[in-house]
Structure 1
Amino acid sequence: MSIQVGDKLPEATFMEMTADGPQPRTTEQVFGGKTVALFAVPGAYTPTCSARHLPGFVDKSGDLKAKGVDEIICTSVNDVFVMGAWGKDAGAGETVRMLADGNGAFAKAIGLELDASGFGMGQRSQRYSMIVKDGTVSELNVEDGGEFKVSSADYMLNQL
């Protein structure tokens, strides 16, 4: 069963590329005491993720922050080096933090893993977005199949 509105995020560790190299980040460090717009994509550099999902959050970052979001975070079941490079290539800079869920532990822990073996991608994360307040899910938007509707930055803006 997947995580639901009102649930606390489980303990997990992400990896983030920094000027000092890869650094671990726990869910408490990332989400504690903040309002976070979190979105997950099946894969860095994949068509919808690169052309629409990440750019939408980069473009709308100011609007999201104006509505009370402290941080915007993108996660994917990719390694930290890929996530760091993708964020740099996409111009995410300081607007969107890129957190790697390299082994898919977070996706699995929240019940939003995706078996993309049929596409040669192995285990991944479903496409979703959520608003997390001090570690607790206040909004959850999970896409059906290959859709891109409810996990967009614009959709999230309407929820705030």
Structure 2
Amino acid sequence: MIKTGDKLPEVSFSQLTKEGVMNPTTSQIFANKKVVLFAVPGAFTPTCSAAHLPGYIALADQIKAKGVDAIICTAVNDAFVMSAWGKSQNAEEIVFLADGGAAFHKAIGLTMETSDFGGVRSQRYAMIVENGVVTQLNVEAPKTFEVSKAEVMLAAL
């Protein structure tokens, strides 16, 4: 599993933009930036939609005021689902990156098998990344939602 001090692996994500689906790479996304990245097991799922994403939406201005260039949400979903979820939550300050094949989450060792719920999914976590290097990593224990909250990450900044 990835840990504090590690560089993020080079993978491509999918992102739905006005120009269509784009495939930005890790280096394009994180180079020379300070980013708060959080991952959810799935878009439109209960805790993710009721608490995890809304916390980041509510605190986006305060997080960015701490020198953060971007707040990114990722999940093992496709770019269309991630975009629709962001629009349904009015999450204009959050960047949504899809990891449809779980390449990123497999590379960092933060997947979980959910069987019939959706197969391979991301574990719930949040990290602070500076110029592609993890400076803070908070991974949730199974079925918990404590250490990856927006409030916790704001305090860590």
TM-score range, shorter chain: over 0.9
SS at match of 1:141: strand
Q: Which aligned pairs between 1:105-116 and structure 2 lie closer than 5 A?
A: 105-116=103-114
Q: CA deviation at 1:20?
A: 1.2
Q: Which aligned pairs between 1:4-153 and structure 2 lie closer than 5 A?
A: 4-93=3-92, 95-117=93-115, 119-153=116-150
- In the alignment, the residues of structure 1 paired with residue 117 and residue 7 of structure 2 have an alpha-carbon distance, to the nearest angstrom, of 32
Q: How many residues align?
A: 157
Q: CA deviation at 1:37?
A: 0.2
Give the TM-score normalised by the residue count of structure 1.
Answer: 0.97
Q: CA deviation at 1:68?
A: 1.2
Q: CA deviation at 1:21?
A: 1.2
Stretches (4+) displaced over 2 A: none
Runs (5+) with no aligned partner, structure 1: none
- In the alignment, the residues of structure 1 paired with residue 101 and residue 89 of structure 2 have an alpha-carbon distance, to the nearest angstrom, of 23
Work out the percentage of aligned pairs sharing the same amino acid.
Answer: 56
- In the alignment, the residues of structure 2 paired with residue 107 and residue 79 of structure 1 have an alpha-carbon distance, to the nearest angstrom, of 14
- In the alignment, the residues of structure 2 paired with residue 21 and residue 152 of structure 1 have an alpha-carbon distance, to the nearest angstrom, of 30
CA distances 1:66-103 after superposition (whole Å, capped 9, x unpaired): 1111100000000010001001111112x000000000
Q: CA deviation at 1:16?
A: 0.6
Runs (5+) with no aligned partner, structure 2: none
CA distances 1:128-149 after superposition (whole Å, capped 9, x unpaired): 0000000000000000001000
Moved more, 119-128 or 107-116: 119-128
Give the TM-score normalised by the residue count of structure 2.
Answer: 0.99
Q: CA deviation at 1:120?
A: 2.4
